[in-house]
Amino acid sequence: MGNIWVTGANGQLGQELQELASGQDNWYFTDLPELDICNQEACQGFIEAHQIQTIIHCAAYTAVDRAESDPETTFRTNTQASFQLADLARKADAQLIFISTDYVFDGNSPTPYRESDPCTPISVYGRSKREAEIGIQQSGAKGIIIRTAWLYSTYGSNFVKTMLRLSEERSEIQVVNDQLGSPTYAKDLAAAIRHILPQLDKHDFHGEIFHYTNEGCCSWHDLAVLSLQLGKKDCIIRPIPTTAYPTAAHRPAYSLLSKEKIRTVFGVETPDWKASLAKFFEELLP
């Protein structure tokens, strides 16, 4: 693997990867304002200066609702910058791991989405990531794309930590119960990537897509209820339909991802979402 560059170092996944960075490899973690991934010249200089052999591209514009009113920034960050990184990776003969999303799907599937299923994103954010996937595949760069969903961690802001905060401020919280998927503990995803890294050179992948989340299916309401139980918070969680909580961006009603492919090809573990949530709370509330 040699010299590994992680973009979006201050994000949830980036910080979890920093905890796992070890061994004989040289890890480089960058984020704004140190290095702007939209600056192709700066990125090229960084790759050349550090002789980067693997890029783990975590940086992204992830404000899903704000993206609807700011598509220019969203596509510049998520799509154009990813095109440029893929081109630079190809020229440097470096492996690229691109982190994508379940929002590339419209949520109308009756069964868990496989990597080969058609993508019809219903939000600006989802379209920006899908176009990035296509561009990366067309770039000729070596590496893989990992789609994930509902990410949470002890770092940064996320749904689980928001529920904990709101439970301190309110006696009752309303949470949608008709959007189904599977949460992803960022520490588990980071461990999966760490497990995959030494295997990349054994394969001739050029933008091959894999899915990774925790196992099982739940609604945002289910996740909120268990989060407050594990966090020992006394707050009522009221289930509501999506129609009662309108947002700027449309979200897929069902975005459960099949993990069969990533388990088969790389032998990664996909722990149950409830078990991983319990581990999260063990770390958050020792």
Q: How far apart are CA 31 and CA 78, in angstroms?
A: 14
Residue 125 annotated to the active site:
yes
CA 218 to chain centre: 18
Q: What are the φ/ψ torsions at residue 25 (nearest 5 degrees)?
A: -80, 155
Nearest by Cα to 69 from 248, 272, 286: 248
Q: How far apart are CA 225 and CA 219, in angstroms?
A: 10
Q: How many CB atoms lie within 10 A of CB 157?
A: 11
Q: Which two tokens stand for residue 177?
A: 């119960």
Nearest to 163 by CA among 232, 240, 102: 232
**Given the residues 125, 155, 185, 254, the one annotated as active site:** 125
- Active site residue ranges: 125
